[in-house]
Chain A
Amino acid sequence: MDFMVFQYPMISVQACLDGILLGILFALIAYGMALQWGVMNIINIAQGDLVILGGYIAYFMYLYGIHPAWGVIVSPIIMFFVGIAIYKLVINKVVDRDLFISILATFGISILFMQLMNFAFGADVVLANSDYGTTMLFNNNVVLPNSKIFSAFISILFAICLVIYMKKSKLGRAIRATAQNARAAKILGVDTEKVYAATFGINAALCGVAGALISITFTIHPYMGLPYTIRSFMIVIVAGLGNLPGVAMSGMGLGVFEEFADYILGTEFRIGSVFLLLVLILVYRRFKLSRKREYLK
Chain B
Amino acid sequence: MKINKIIISFISAAVILLSTSVVSFAKVVGDKIVLGAAISLTGKYSSNGVHTQNGYNMAVDRINSMGGVKVGGKTYKFDIIYYDDESNPKRAAQLAERLISQDGVEFMLGPYSSGLTKAIAPVTEKYGVPMVEANGASRSLFTKGYKYLFAVLAPANLYLDVAIDLAVEKNNGKGVTVAMAFEQDAFSQDVRLGVLDAIKRTGSKKVIDDKLPKELNDMAATLVKVKQMKPDVLVVSGHTKGALTAIRQISEMKVDVPMLAMTHCDAAKLSKQHGKNSQYALCASQWHKTLTYKDDFFKDGMTYDADFTKEFGYAPPYQAAESSAALLVFKDAFERANSFDQKKVRDALAATNMQTFYGNIKFAEGGQNVDKPMVLFQVMCDDGGKCENKVVAPTKWASAKLIHPIPSWSER
Contact = CB atoms under 8 A, between A and B. Distances in A.
Interface of A: 4, 8, 11, 14-15, 18, 22, 115, 118-119, 122-127, 129, 134, 136, 143, 145, 147, 218-219, 221-224, 226-227, 259, 262-263, 266-272
Contacts of A119: 42
Interface of B: 42-47, 87, 181, 184, 210-213, 215-222, 224-225, 227-228, 239-241, 244-245, 248-249, 252-254, 268-269, 273-275, 277
Contact of B44 (A8, A123, A136, A266): A123
Contact of A118 (B42, B212, B240): B42
A271 B215 contact: yes
Contact of A143 (B218, B253, B269): B253
Given A123-B44, A123-B46, 4 more contacts: A18-B220, A22-B218, A118-B46, A122-B46
A266 B252 contact: no
A221 B214 CA distance: 12
B245 A124 contact: no
A129 B46 CA distance: 24
A129 B275 CA distance: 10
B241 A221 contact: yes
A267 B44 contact: no
Contacts of B184: 268
A119 B84 CA distance: 13
Contacts, number: 102
A227 B211 contact: no
Contacts of A14: 224
A67 B298 CA distance: 42
Most chain B beta-carbon neighbours within 10 Å: one of A115, A123, A125, A268: A125
A118 B84 CA distance: 14
A81 to B, nearest CB: 27
Contacts of A145: 249, 252-253
Nearest to B212: A267
A61 to B, nearest CB: 15
A266 B42 contact: no
A270 B181 CA distance: 14
Contacts of B212: 267-268
13 contacts: A118-B42, A123-B43, A124-B240, A125-B268, A126-B273, A129-B248, A145-B249, A221-B241, A223-B44, A259-B221, A263-B224, A267-B210, A269-B213
A267 B248 contact: no
Cβ-closest 6 pairs across A and B: A145-B252, A268-B211, A262-B221, A218-B217, A125-B241, A123-B46
A207 to B, nearest CB: 17
A173 B273 CA distance: 45
Nearest to A262: B221
A215 to B, nearest CB: 10
A262 B245 CA distance: 16
A115 B84 CA distance: 14
A267 B211 contact: yes
> Counting chain A CB atoms within 10 Å of each CB, which of B181, B253, B268 scores highest?
B253
A249 to B, nearest CB: 21
B213 A267 contact: yes
Given A4-B225, A134-B252, A122 B47 contact: yes
